[in-house]
């Protein structure tokens, strides 16, 4: 193994370093963020930084760069206070990736990248009709990260749309059944298959699987 | 599709809701956090909330609950200012999951779960010798999330250890070559295989793959 130290990281060419550091956080979920402005101009952006914040109250977060390609997404969230997180299946990786292009604000990535808007009653942001797991959120707090001028955007989950058959007896959404994509780095898409569901771990008991999945599942 | 609204989420039994909400954020990376206190009592904890914060300066974050099973990890980070993020391969899922058990503070999960400490010169936290991607960080900032009393712990990357053969020409660490695990929910481990690496997206160009991976890779 090589040791790459601070000086070596700092000496990396900018794009090379962006790839290197982005890949260190491992596999990330692929989500499409649906928003609109007060004139109902819609926007869709792929984001790989969605993170669980807590279950009670039900909160999800994402890291956003105010002056990057997601500036419209962030601006819309601040304007309306609402947004959607739409899980992206593997089959949509090419059109989902295309939402990361710098389209002008007046062009909706829903149209340009061939996704369908789905509106719910009394909810001020568009869902992605094609997504098998759609989450509607109300903005709860934007926490500035002064270290690098990014923002942690936290939303309170208002509604979830999913096939009830995909919810297991213990409450988990079986995301492998939904064929969701994983992302590594900035540009690589992956398929995922389950290996094992583990029992709740206790100090005096050896680790045990509740279920082992077949390799071909 | 069923619509599950705020009232339905609130009415869920506590454990069921924890599973449901935790599974909504999709696939997450599996990382082992190595720490020690000022007496060099070591600790190891599996964490699925690591998130990329930025490449310049090189920053990684993770969401932590101060009063949960990771209280020792968080206490150690605050004491010493240093910690390690060690990517977890699929082959270690059972012993990695076992680090989530509530061991007493005096017992090291390195010993109890059969991982090997690796110390680097002038670095005050232990690495996991068995991990193929080891990251040493210095605590940069702890940002409190008042909404649910959690904390966003941000570290500045000080050193990275990885096989140089796993770094591609453009700087990406090929994490699929390292056979890293993905997690969904609180307890399910997955293997991952790449589908496609996409070209940088531009509005006037159709999405294009730089590389399509074979299904058996």
Chain A residues with CB inside 8 Å of B22's CB?
A: 52, 55, 172
Tokens of A133: 């797991």
Q: How far apart are CA A162 and CA A131, in angstroms?
A: 9
Distance from CA of A171 to the nearest CA of B (A): 5
Q: How far apart are CA B206 and CA B198, in angstroms?
A: 11
Taking one residue from A and the other from B, the number of pairs with CB-CB distance under 8 angstroms is 369
Q: Please, which pLDDT band fits residue B216 given cuts at 50, 70 and 90?
A: low
Q: How far apart are CA B188 and CA B38, in angstroms?
A: 34
Subunit contact B5:A158, Cβ cutoff 8 A: yes
Residue B217 has pLDDT above 60, yes or no: no
End-to-end C-alpha distance for chain B, whole angstroms: 34
**DSSP reduced 3-state for B178:** coil
At A71 the pLDDT is 87
- Domain extents in chain B: 26-212
Reported residue count of chain A is 217
Q: How far apart are CA A180 and CA A48, in angstroms?
A: 13
Subunit contact A163:B1, Cβ cutoff 8 A: yes
Subunit contact B188:A172, Cβ cutoff 8 A: yes
Residue A21 has pLDDT above 60, yes or no: yes
Chain A residues with CB inside 8 Å of B16's CB?
A: 170-171
At B149 the pLDDT is 96
List residues bridging with A43 in a β-sheet: A35
Q: In the predicted model, what is the mean pLDDT of residues B152-173? A: 97
Q: What is the pLDDT of residues A135-184, one digit of tens each?
A: 999 999 999 999 999 999 999 999 999 999 999 999 999 999 999 999 99
Residue of A nearest to B49 (CA): A51
Q: What percent of chain B has pLDDT over 70?
A: 99
A13-212 maps to CATH 2.30.110.10: yes
Distance from CA of A38 to the nearest CA of B (A): 24
B26-212 maps to CATH 2.30.110.10: yes
At A67 the pLDDT is 80
At B214 the pLDDT is 80
Tokens of B201: 């997206």
Query: ipTM of this model?
Result: 0.97
Q: What is the pLDDT of residues A69-79, one digit of tens each?
A: 788 999 999 99
Q: What percent of chain A has pLDDT over 90?
A: 95
Subunit contact B94:A188, Cβ cutoff 8 A: no
Residue B45 has pLDDT above 80, yes or no: yes
Residue A215 has pLDDT above 80, yes or no: no
């Amino acid at each position: 193994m090589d040791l790459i130290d601070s000086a070596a990281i700092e000496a990396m060419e900018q794009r090379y370093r962006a790839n290197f550091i982005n890949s260190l956080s491992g596999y990330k979920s692929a989500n499409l963020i649906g928003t609109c402005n007060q004139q109902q101009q819609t926007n869709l952006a792929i984001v790989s930084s969605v993170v669980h914040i807590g279950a009670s109250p039900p909160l999800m977060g994402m890291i956003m760069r105010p002056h990057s390609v997601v500036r419209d997404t962030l601006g819309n969230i601040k304007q309306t206070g609402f947004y959607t997180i739409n899980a992206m299946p593997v089959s949509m990786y090419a059109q989902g990736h295309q939402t990361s292009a710098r389209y002008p604000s007046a062009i909706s990535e829903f149209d340009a990248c061939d996704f369908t808007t789905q509106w719910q009653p009394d909810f001020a942001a568009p869902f992605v009709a094609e997504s098998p797991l759609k989450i509607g959120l109300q903005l709860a707090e934007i926490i500035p990260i002064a270290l690098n001028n990014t923002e942690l955007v936290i939303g309170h989950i208002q509604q979830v749309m999913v096939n009830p058959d995909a919810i297991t007896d213990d409450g988990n959404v079986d995301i492998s059944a939904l064929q969701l994509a994983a992302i590594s780095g900035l540009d690589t898409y992956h398929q995922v298959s389950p290996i094992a569901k583990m029992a709740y771990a206790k100090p005096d008991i050896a680790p045990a699987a509740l279920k082992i999945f077949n390799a071909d599942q």
